[in-house]
Chain A
Amino acid sequence: MEITSYREIIGRSFIESRPLNAQWELTFKCNHLCGFCYNAPTGQRELTTDEIKRGLEKILDLGVLYITLTGGEAMVRPDFFEICEHARHLGFALRVYSNGYLIDEEKARRLKEVDTFEMEISIHGAKPETHDRLTGIRGSFDRLIAGLGHLRKQRIKTSLKCPITHLNQDELHQIWDIARSFECSMSWDPVIMPRDDGDTSPLALSANKEFLDRFFSDEFKLLRHGADVEKRDDTVTLTNCGTGKVSFTIDPYGNIFPCVAWRRKWANIKDVENLAELWRSSEVLKQVRWAAEQIPKTTLKQAESGDFCNFCPGVAERQTGSPFKMYPQAEAVAEARLTAYNNKQAERTGDAGVSPALASHPCRRHS
């Protein structure tokens, strides 16, 4: 049957486990000190330029469309543009995740020259004091804003993303205004993750519950691109998420994982001979795909707010020891989404808008 939209391509990739994107963490080095960062460097030697280039060549066989370069801060690598050029030479579409700090006029021009398909830039506040506090670097907000100006001048598609913390939760509308002023799309992440080594200290920065309830209400509807909270719909993809299916992640040491959040190594790019074959035969990938398919039928089905839960088995495994076990951040966001959904339903039916008795719902048992 003929495909007519990119959404269908993604849907088919979910079903057939055909990767569209390879996310490569080029380095864990970073010029920021974000307290909520999930990276956990081990001190191993990071890959050389040649090792990365050879790795990109190995990925070709998988038919991946995008290479997404990230970090740490990918742009701190002196060979960053050499790697970009090689990725483009091999015919990948190029996406770059960055904190924007290093994007001056010259870097923006070079990003355009290598035909960057999309930049995704992190923003942590609408004011210098908030952004700089979260990045730990004085002046980082001003550098970010300057970088956005340079990207806009080069007409490079740029998206902003904001991990919501209790320090920036009251500035989201102003952050939205900044995104609009630079003609950027905007996305929000209300879930802070533990570090990759299991350290949960970043969670202390999470947005508070009262704010999450507001975030999914009409007060923030515009920032959610006008969307009402809806139930999950897994009927097309038949899976919780795309882990091990539509994408994979490579860390700075060459280890390959099913996705950025689930750090179950299934290969190392330096050692693997036939990546396409291993993508099909890896027992680790079979396990994570199976788990992703089971989660809607188990973990989410058992939770009252499961229909509203963006559950990450990688975070669950890191935080609870099991990829099937509910963890507090997912639970808190799911509850907030359920409350918003029920309030909306009550509004529509002319009910008094009573929220559900969340205090007793099953998700609560895990917290």
Chain B
Amino acid sequence: MVEATARPRRHRSSTTRVVDAQAVIALADTAMIQILNDVGTRVWNLIDGHRSVQEIVAAVRGQLETEGYSSVSEGLDRDVEIFFEDLSAHGLITWSGAGS
């Protein structure tokens, strides 16, 4: 369960390059490469250790709606929550704030 007020932070050993609007993340801690899709990349780009989950969701929703992807933004809260759980499970993020 990811709390809406928790603030994710990228793992310090991660390196990101964006290739064709998709984030390629190299995580030294586990020596793994992860590739994110478009929405995942938008979320990842907003993770700075300061923004909370709900702020990130709101920002991504705003981006999608501005770009005419309103249908994608439906169910976004749950999708992003699952995504954060996945990032956490892979060691790509740590948490501060309310916790998760």
Docked-complex contact A6 and B17, CB < 8 angstroms: no
- Bin the interface of chain A by size: 20 to 34
Docked-complex contact A65 and B26, CB < 8 angstroms: yes
- Given known A-B contacts A65-B26, A115-B28, A92 and B35 have beta carbons under 8 A apart: no
Contacts of B16 in A (CB 8 A): 91
Task: Write the B20-51 contact mask toward A (1 if CB under 8 angstroms, else 0).
Answer: 10101010110101010110000000000000
Docked-complex contact A93 and B28, CB < 8 angstroms: yes
Docked-complex contact A6 and B28, CB < 8 angstroms: no
Task: Write the A165-182 contact mask toward B (1 if CB under 8 angstroms, else 0).
Answer: 000000000000000000
Docked-complex contact A9 and B19, CB < 8 angstroms: yes
Q: Quick one: closest B residue to A116, CB to CB?
A: B28
Instruction: Name the residue among B13, B28, B31, B38 with the largest chain A CB count within 10 angstroms.
Output: B28
A312 within 8 A of B: no
Docked-complex contact A2 and B22, CB < 8 angstroms: yes
Q: Which of B15, B22, B31, B38 contacts A157 (CB 8 A)?
A: B31
Tell me the smallest distance from the CB of B22 to a CB of chain A, in Å. Answer: 5
Contacts of B12 in A (CB 8 A): 115
Q: Which of A5, A63, A94, A116 contacts B17 (CB 8 A)?
A: A63
Docked-complex contact B38 and A117, CB < 8 angstroms: no
A3 within 8 A of B: yes
Contacts of A12 in B (CB 8 A): 19-20
Q: Quick one: closest A residue to B19, CB to CB?
A: A9
Tell me the smallest distance from the CB of A363 to a CB of chain B, in Å. Answer: 37
Name the prevailing secondary structure of the A interface residues.
loop
Query: How many residue pairs between the two chains, A and B, have CB atoms under 8 Å in the bound complex?
Result: 46
A66 to B31, CA, bound (A): 12
A117 to B16, CA, bound (A): 13
Q: Which of A4, A6, A66, A115 contacts B13 (CB 8 A)?
A: A115
Contacts of A115 in B (CB 8 A): 12-13, 28-29
Q: Quick one: closest A residue to B17, CB to CB?
A: A65
Q: Quick one: closest B residue to A94, CB to CB?
A: B28
A307 within 8 A of B: no
Q: Quick one: closest A residue to B33, CB to CB?
A: A6
- Given known A-B contacts A63-B17, A65-B15, A117-B15, A3 and B35 have beta carbons under 8 A apart: yes
A3 to B29, CA, bound (A): 23
Q: Quick one: closest B residue to A5, CB to CB?
A: B35
Contacts of A65 in B (CB 8 A): 15, 17, 24, 26
A12 to B22, CA, bound (A): 13
Docked-complex contact A3 and B19, CB < 8 angstroms: yes
A65 to B12, CA, bound (A): 16
Contacts of B31 in A (CB 8 A): 117-118, 157
A9 to B35, CA, bound (A): 9
Tell me the smallest distance from the CB of B40 to a CB of chain A, in Å. Answer: 10
Q: Quick one: closest B residue to A1, CB to CB?
A: B20
Q: Which of A3, A6, A91, A94 contacts B20 (CB 8 A)?
A: A3
Contacts of B29 in A (CB 8 A): 115
Tell me the smallest distance from the CB of A219 to a CB of chain B, in Å. Answer: 31
Task: Write the A60-75 contact mask toward B (1 if CB under 8 angstroms, else 0).
Answer: 0001111000000000
Docked-complex contact A117 and B20, CB < 8 angstroms: no
Contacts of B18 in A (CB 8 A): 63
Contacts of B19 in A (CB 8 A): 3, 9, 12, 18, 63
Interface residues of B (CB under 8 A from A): 12-13, 15-20, 22, 24, 26, 28-29, 31, 33, 35, 37-38
CB-defined A-B contacts under 8 Å, sample of 18 = A2-B38, A3-B19, A3-B20, A3-B35, A5-B35, A6-B24, A6-B33, A12-B20, A63-B17, A63-B19, A64-B17, A65-B17, A65-B26, A93-B15, A115-B13, A116-B28, A117-B28, A117-B31
Q: 4 closest A-B pairs (Cβ-Cβ)? A: A157-B31, A115-B13, A93-B26, A93-B15
